[in-house]
């Protein structure tokens, strides 16, 4: 079930706060991952504000789309 032969495989580090404090010694990939992780809450906030503002309009558009689709399906059956 487990691969016990390969014990020296490299594990990907997820929580590397100590390495993030040493910015000059970080690789480009680590810097990019840190930037993505720090900008993610802002993206979530923007999506939240957008959905909070326009959720009713989006639901009405979906409802209108499915209503028109349902009515057109009934017309084709005649």
Indicate the domain borders of the chain. 17-76
pLDDT in tens, 5-20: 666 666 666 666 677 6
Residue by residue, DSSP assigns 3-56 as --S-TTPPPPPS--HHHHH-GGG--HHHHHHHHHHHHHHHHHHHHHHHHHHHHH
DSSP 78: -
Taking only the tens place, the pLDDT of each residue in 34-63 is: 899 899 999 999 999 999 999 999 999 999
* pTM, to two decimals: 0.55
pLDDT of residue 57: 96
Find where tokens 């009515």 sit.
71
């Amino acid at each position: 079930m487990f691969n016990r032969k390969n014990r020296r495989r490299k594990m990907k580090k997820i929580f590397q706060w100590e390495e993030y404090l040493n910015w000059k010694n970080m690789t480009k990939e680590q810097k990019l991952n840190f930037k993505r992780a720090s900008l993610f809450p802002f993206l979530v906030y923007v999506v939240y504000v957008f959905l909070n503002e326009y959720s009713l309009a989006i639901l009405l558009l979906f409802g209108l789309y499915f209503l028109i689709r349902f009515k057109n399906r009934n017309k084709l059956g005649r």
